[in-house]
Amino acid sequence: MSSKIETYDRKRKNLRGGHLLGYITFFVVFIVRSALKIAGTQAGTLWTVLHVVIAFSLLWLLYFSIRLFKVQREISRDPVLKEALNNELDRLNELKAWKAAFYSLIVFNIVAVYLFHIMDIPLKEPIVLVVTNLLVGTVGFDIARYLLDR
């Protein structure tokens, strides 16, 4: 039975790593795309490549999200796996990851306030700030969760 537990634990860690890689890819490309759009350079091959990479990273995220959901569901249905893999340490790591995500959001919002209000940089697209805020929170959670599970 311990080999089954180790297999599911390894599978869950690998899926979380793939999920995190998709988030980071999307986040970096989204920031580059937004910076280019704000700067006014929206034409050319680079713009098309950025959109293709964004679409690929979204498909990557969808694939790993579905697989991670299936593994989590299998773990929750099997009492032995649930007891071994959803223990106090796992729940504590999840709470610590939420805390890290909260602090990353606070830091990002302080930096945004500094840039847009104190440095008086004009905010041309507020939706970029909102989406980046959501991405910082989710990526902060996933990075903390992945590092704590190692």
d(CA 32, CA 139): 17
Across 27-44, average pLDDT? 83
The model's pLDDT over 42-54, given as tens digits with 9 standing for 90+, comes to 778 888 899 999 9
The model's pLDDT over 61-113, given as tens digits with 9 standing for 90+, comes to 999 999 999 998 988 888 888 888 777 888 899 999 999 999 999 999 999 88
pLDDT value, residue 52 = 94
**Is the entire prediction scored with pTM above 0.85?**
no
Place of tokens 């593994």: 71
pLDDT value, residue 1 = 57
Contacts of 13 (CB under 8 A, 6+ apart): 146, 149, 150
> Dihedral, CA atoms, 82, 84, 86, 64, nearest 10 degrees?
-80
